[in-house]
Amino acid sequence: MMRVIVNGVSFYTTESRVKSGVGSDTTVNSAIRAVYGLLKKKEQGIASRVAVYNHKMQQQYFDVQIDRL
């Protein structure tokens, strides 16, 4: 089980769900997957700011925190 916080909004999910996508917004999924990719096996959590380009080529920033429970 994991807790994910994106721009101050938190939710609980599983690692397999993070890998397959947690919602319908592809930019948020990309940001979460990028931070999840940095999470080492033995670490309890990680946080990072990620810049993602949307379909209109506009840069968006996401503050993502992932904690293993």
What is the mean pLDDT, run by run of 10 residues, along the chain of 69 residues? 96 94 91 94 94 92 97
| Phi, psi of 60, deg, nearest 5 | -125, 145
Determine the pLDDT at residue 8: 96
Determine the pLDDT at residue 10: 97
Determine the pLDDT at residue 54: 86
How many whole angstroms separate alpha carbon 62 and alpha carbon 42? 24
Question: Is the pTM value of this prediction over 0.85?
Answer: yes
Q: What is the DSSP letter of 38?
A: H
**Tokens 């769900």, located at residue:** 17
Q: Give the three-class secondary structure for 68.
A: strand
Q: Give the three-class secondary structure for 52.
A: strand
